[in-house]
């Protein structure tokens, strides 16, 4: 991602979530292109729903994970969690990415060293590459809007923290599609970072009937540990208690990350948020160290760590990487059964017969 892309990303989020008069005026000015975007999306969906455009099945049992809105839902840790669950069942996982942002590829390869991670805008070509590398189950990152592929299990992710915000379509807001898109998903996963457990559970119950299987899951995404940016032993989260913390990140929802750090008992959290998929330069590191001062600690995300390592100066105070853990806190058994079916499917000669029921849309 270039500096201009990062700037555009920061400006877009300021418009989408800002409460100032200029942000409201900007959203209003973008309503006309937003209406065009929504109309184009609707026409495209009708073309797929009526068979004018066709979807193709993938050559191995597959799970697709996607968002209704742009970024910040915790999709990457959820895909990592699902990959781990499938590997625990004996599967050889291939993770297919759209090919946008080298940081995602590096993050997945670091978190899933035994998986085949393939970035290719053509998901069918990427699937062939993953299978050639030994994969027998496929995980598609960001595919709710990819109507040309038909995963066997499709999961839509919605962040509890952003649900109450105005759901305006791109470019006036962050929403790629309306709630009607949940009708293509088998289940919806409500991700929770700083929202209350009760609000996330209520949201899951509210939106579950819109999905094909009427299934709503809640995924708690909690900070689990800290580790040094340049490698070494993990340290407990208590190490941040009473400290001044600088949250350095280029992710979709930086405020949720800062809120998680504040919840650990940090004395103060200074948020240095860059655009999603930000390309870091030495000046960004220098600014973080300046804000932290001699007694503060810089904390970043796994997504950012893969880009910051080469830039962190020798002899500078250590940067810590906050590791996320995923826990499914509702209907975990139903999700487990769906993953069991996929695991069984890859063991059969006629794998299609053992997969979940065929998708009709």
Confidence at residue 54, expressed as pLDDT on a 0 to 100 scale: 93
* CA 186 – CA 184 distance, rounded (Å): 7
- Which domains does the chain possess? 3-49 (no CATH), 56-222+326-354 (3.40.50.300), 223-324 (3.40.50)
Helix, coil or strand: residue 244? strand
Confidence at residue 68, expressed as pLDDT on a 0 to 100 scale: 92
Six-digit token string for 352: 């299609």
- Whether the CB-CB separation of 153 and 338 falls below 8 Å is answered with yes
Outline where the chain has alpha helix (H): 3-17, 21-29, 31-49, 75-88, 102-111, 123-132, 197-207, 254-262, 282-292, 302-308, 332-345, 351-354
On the question of a cis peptide bond just before residue 171, with omega within 30 degrees of 0, the verdict is: yes
Tally of residues, the chain: 361
pLDDT tens digits along 19-61: 788 888 988 899 999 999 999 999 999 999 999 999 999 999 9
Confidence at residue 253, expressed as pLDDT on a 0 to 100 scale: 87
Confidence at residue 3, expressed as pLDDT on a 0 to 100 scale: 54
Give the distance from CA 289 to its chain's centroid.
Answer: 28
Q: Are strands 319-328 and 215-228 parallel, antiparallel or unpaired?
A: antiparallel
* CA 137 – CA 92 distance, rounded (Å): 6
* CA 72 – CA 250 distance, rounded (Å): 10
Confidence at residue 269, expressed as pLDDT on a 0 to 100 scale: 97
> What does each of the 361 residues of the chain score in pLDDT, given as a tens digit?
555 555 666 677 778 877 788 888 988 899 999 999 999 999 999 999 999 999 999 999 999 999 998 877 899 999 999 999 999 999 999 999 987 656 789 899 999 999 999 999 999 999 999 999 999 999 999 899 999 999 999 999 999 998 887 788 999 988 999 999 999 999 999 999 989 999 999 999 999 999 999 999 999 999 999 999 988 889 899 999 999 999 999 988 899 999 999 999 999 999 999 888 888 999 999 999 999 999 999 999 999 999 999 999 998 998 999 999 999 998 899 999 999 999 999 877 344 434 444 444 4
Confidence at residue 101, expressed as pLDDT on a 0 to 100 scale: 59
Query: Going by C-beta distance under 8 Å and a sequence separation of 6 or more, which residues neighbour residue 5?
Result: 275, 277
Give the distance from CA 98 to its chain's centroid.
Answer: 13
């Amino acid at each position: 991602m270039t500096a201009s892309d990062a700037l555009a990303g920061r400006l877009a989020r300021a418009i989408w979530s800002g409460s100032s008069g200029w942000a409201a005026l900007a959203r209003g000015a973008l309503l006309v292109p937003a209406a065009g975007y929504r109309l184009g999306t609707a026409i495209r969906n009708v073309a797929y729903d009526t068979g004018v455009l066709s979807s193709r099945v993938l050559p191995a049992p597959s799970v697709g994970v996607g968002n209704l809105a742009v970024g910040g839902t915790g999709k990457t840790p959820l895909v990592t969690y699902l990959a781990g669950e499938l590997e625990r069942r004996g599967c050889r996982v291939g993770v297919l990415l759209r090919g946008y942002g080298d940081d995602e590829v590096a993050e997945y390869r670091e978190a899933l060293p035994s998986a085949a991670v393939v970035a290719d805008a053509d998901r069918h070509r990427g699937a062939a590459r993953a299978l050639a590398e030994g994969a027998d189950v496929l995980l598609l990152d960001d595919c709710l809007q990819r109507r040309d592929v038909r995963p066997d299990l499709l999961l839509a992710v919605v962040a509890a923290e952003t649900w109450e915000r105005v759901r305006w379509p791109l470019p006036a807001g962050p929403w790629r599609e309306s709630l009607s898109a949940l009708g293509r998903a088998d289940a919806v996963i409500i991700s929770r970072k700083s929202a209350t457990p009760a609000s996330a559970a209520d949201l899951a119950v509210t939106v579950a009937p819109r999905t094909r299987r009427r299934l709503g899951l809640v995924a708690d995404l909690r900070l689990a540990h800290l580790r040094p940016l340049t490698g070494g032993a993990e340290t407990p989260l208590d190490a941040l208690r009473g400290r001044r913390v600088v949250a350095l990140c280029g992710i979709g929802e930086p405020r949720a990350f800062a809120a998680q750090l504040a919840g650990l008992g940090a004395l103060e959290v200074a948020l240095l948020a860059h655009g999603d998929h930000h390309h870091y330069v030495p000046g960004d590191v220098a600014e973080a160290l300046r804000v932290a001062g001699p007694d503060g600690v810089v904390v970043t995300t796994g997504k950012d760590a893969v880009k910051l390592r080469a830039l962190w100066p020798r002899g500078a105070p250590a940067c810590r990487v906050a590791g996320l853990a995923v826990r499914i806190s509702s209907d975990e058994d139903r999700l487990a059964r769906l993953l069991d079916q996929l695991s069984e499917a890859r063991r059969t000669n006629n794998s299609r017969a053992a997969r979940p029921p065929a998708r009709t849309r």
